[in-house]
Amino acid sequence: MVQRVKSVDKKVLALRMVDRVDRFDIHNQKKSDGITLIELVIVVTIIGILAAFGYPSFVEQIGKSRRADATTALTSLAAELEGYYNNRETYLNAGNDSITGIPTITALLGGTLTEHEHYQLSYTARTTNSFTIRAVPQGSQATDLCGTFITNSIGQRTVSGTGDCW
């Protein structure tokens, strides 16, 4: 019986020591349910770094998609004009005569904007055997390095700006 009392006393003594250590432990604070200011600053910094690298790339991709819209419109219009030439053996009245039978040419000529309105199409230098069509950038696309897209009846494709834009 004496032996049993000693083991109980040891357990009580051990529990008292743990209780004293817990009271003086500076790291044993109540856990917070929110986030700290330093955690918030770290997250905002990471987002800022990602945005600094990602935004210019995003803007460049938007410009490329708008350029694709312009080149597609020019290529379609050139194909329509070639079809008109095959039927009439002239480019002179394409889009102007009432019997063209090609509504696409009439719709695309006369300063019409491309599908997403970032380029304005124009039809210049019309002769019996040749044409030149342009897609001039508008609005936010006006500062694009490629500038105006130009194509003609012999298939030459150029830009007024710099770079590999076609």
What's the whole-number mean pLDDT along residues 4-24? 57
pTM of the model: 0.63
What's the whole-number mean pLDDT along residues 64-71? 89
What's the whole-number mean pLDDT along residues 23-36? 64
Cβ atoms of residues 81 and 131 within 8 Å: yes
In which band, very low, low, confident or very high, does the pLDDT at 11 lie, cut at 50, 70 and 90?
A: low
pLDDT at 2 over 90: no
CA distances for 10 relative to 7, 19, 21, 43, 101, angstroms:
5, 14, 17, 50, 106
Q: How far apart are CA 97 and CA 85, in angstroms?
A: 13
> Token digits for 19?
């209780």
What's the whole-number mean pLDDT along residues 72-94? 84
What's the whole-number mean pLDDT along residues 5-13? 59
Domain coordinates in residue numbering, the chain: 62-166
pLDDT at 97 over 70: no
In which band, very low, low, confident or very high, does the pLDDT at 140 lie, cut at 50, 70 and 90?
A: confident
55 φ/ψ angles, rounded to the nearest 5 degrees: -65, -50
Q: Is the dihedral of CA 14, 19, 20, 21 positive or negative?
A: positive
Q: pLDDT per residue over 79-89, tens digit each?
A: 888 888 888 88
Composition of the chain by helix, strand, coil, percent to 5:
50, 10, 35
Mean pLDDT of the chain: 77
